[in-house]
Structure 1
Amino acid sequence: MTEQDTGRLLRKAANQLINNFDQFAANYGLTSMQMSVIDYLSRRHDEVVIQRDLEQEFNVKRSTMTLLLQRMDKKGLVVRKQALSDGRQKEVTLTNKSREMERLIQDYMKQQDNQIRQIFGQAEIEQFQRILNYYIEHTNEEN
């Protein structure tokens, strides 16, 4: 096997993963990022989630998340309101419309994870996660 640039392979794999998520999400009039936000919020239904939490979770700029949430708000997927803890921040909650899709999205995400776990052992998955976390943390330090 020839040596390959891991960064290029990671980018290629990420693009494929996003394409797969987009194909699934399109069945429900969503993008993969909208689907991921719904998944994140549904897993934290007992917590107050502010926009900054989403920015950190998805490693995106405030302007990117603002645009995404505005579009989701217009589609009736989320509600944004002033956070009680910080008037400068927006609290983000799911609507009934997006709650109807929660189980479908969670099942899809679990199915994707199970496919990987059927092929690779726990030690390989943990090593891969360490590599991914290195890329995430290393990139954040440089920016």
Structure 2
Amino acid sequence: MEASDTGRLLRKAANQLIYNFDQFAGQYGLTSMQMSVIDYLSRQGSHVVIQRDLEREFNVQRSTMTLLLQRMDKKGLVKRQKAVTDGRQKEVTLTAKAREMERIIQDYMQGQDRKIRATFDDETIEQFQEILTYYINLTEGK
């Protein structure tokens, strides 16, 4: 394998992962990103989540997240309202409709994690997570 293959393989793996997520999410009228947002929000408990938190979590631009949340709002999955702490920001909460899907989504995500953990040992997973973190934090010139 050539050194340049790592990035290409990572991209292929990411595409496959998104495809698999989309296939699962599609059964519920969702996209993989909408499913991931529901999963993230459901794991925050009573913590107030603002749109900026979602932008950071998913490493997307404000305009991208705004469009995603608008679509989710129209589907009745999230509610957006002015943040109490900063009127320029929007708090994002799950609706009852989205909460009905929480367990299904969490079970799917946990199942995916179990498959990986059943295939690879802890050390390999830790090294893989280190590589993924490197790519997530990678910026031009570093």
The alignment's TM-score, normalised by the length of structure 1, stands at 0.95
Aligned to 1:123: 123
Structure 2: runs of 5 or more not aligned: none
1-side partners of 2:70 and 2:45: how far apart?
20
Aligned to 1:49: 49
Aligned to 1:21: 21
1-side partners of 2:98 and 2:6: how far apart?
36
1-side partners of 2:52 and 2:2: how far apart?
39
RMSD of aligned Cα (Å): 1.3
Runs (4 or more) in structure 1 with deviation over 4 Å come to none
Counterparts of 1:5-16 in structure 2, within 5 Å, are: 5-16=5-16
1-side partners of 2:114 and 2:46: how far apart?
26
Q: 2:138 aligns to what SS in structure 1?
A: helix
- How many matched pairs? 141
Identity among equivalent pairs (%): 76
Shift of 1:3: 3.2
Aligned to 1:59: 59
Shift of 1:76: 0.1
Aligned to 1:71: 71
Shift of 1:46: 1.1
